[in-house]
Amino acid sequence: MDRTMKDDKHLLPDGEAELHAYVDGRLEPAERAAVEARLAAEPETAQMVRQWKMQRHALRTLHPEMLLEPVPAHLRHAAMQLHRRSNRFAQWQRWGGMAAAVLVAFGLGWGGHAQWQDQGAGGSTGGVRTFARQAVAAHVVYMPEVRHPVEVEASQQQHLVQWLSKRLNRQLKVPVLSAAGYELVGGRLLPGDGGARAQFMYQNAAGERVTLYVGAIEGAAAKGMGETAFRFANEAGVASFYWVDQGFGYALSGKLPRQGLLVLAESVYKQL
């Protein structure tokens, strides 16, 4: 067993290290057969693994050209630092091998790499587009989750808002989307360029989910886009409306038709 597998065993609940390695294709034939036998006997575990595979595939198709690029030296260094912080690294590992790699890249600055810049885009608007891409990446990772879609559930909304407001250094509001058929699932804290990010997740009766991604935007980036201006993006089948208001960025993402998502985005904007 390689070092990565040994380290995973110390950082993940019993049995999850092998499941992540199975999804990433890192198991020997005998180990793979043992995992497949387990999945055949545990339908809930099998469903969870299928969701991880969906996440991995979605992240690979989001920006396939990234897989051909060498990992920048500063990201390798950052990954080593994260590895030394077992609690934080355990959180990365729950996302799965490929998902963790992509989210570390988003959170620690790959957005500043030329790989992520739109051709011809200036630095200011590029920063806002990077924010939008981070929102889409976070949506892709957590939208399919069955067991851990959020860190704090909606039943603890007051605590959730207080906690995230403190971490983002701004009093946050949680929009109510029940009139459109979406109820709050909960939220979580995420890393981002220049500071922390918050993600709020909503779900309707059909199980469709949308996420609201929130975080501070540097002054130059916000001015370059124009305060409160809506922008639309669609990557890997995930639609997103994003905008900046008083130095804060907001991005609402989901696998919805553009008009349907716009209705939700307008409702969010009016409440904020």
Total-model pTM:
0.59
The first and second tokens of residue 62, run together, are: 């989001």
Mean pLDDT of the chain: 76
Confidence category of residue 265, pLDDT binned at 50, 70, 90? very high
Cα separation, 124 vs 259, in Å, equals 27
Structure token pair of residue 65: 């050209």
Looking at residue 193, what is its pLDDT? 73
Domains located in the chain, CATH noted:
3-111 (no CATH), 127-271 (3.30.200.100)
Judged against a pLDDT cut of 50, whether residue 225 lies above it is answered with no
pLDDT of residue 116: 35
Q: Is the pLDDT of residue 188 over 90?
A: yes
Other C-beta atoms closer than 10 Å to the C-beta of 121 total: 15
Angle between helices 16-23 and 43-62 (to 10 degrees): 40
**Helix (H) and strand (E) counts for the chain?**
11, 7
User: CA-CA distance, 166 to 253, in Å (whole number)?
Assistant: 24
Average pLDDT for 94-101 = 48
Burial class of residue 242 in the structure, from the number of CB atoms within 10 Å of its CB (0-12 exposed, 13-18 middle, 19+ buried): buried
Task: Say if residues 240 and 252 touch (Cβ distance below 8 Å).
Answer: yes
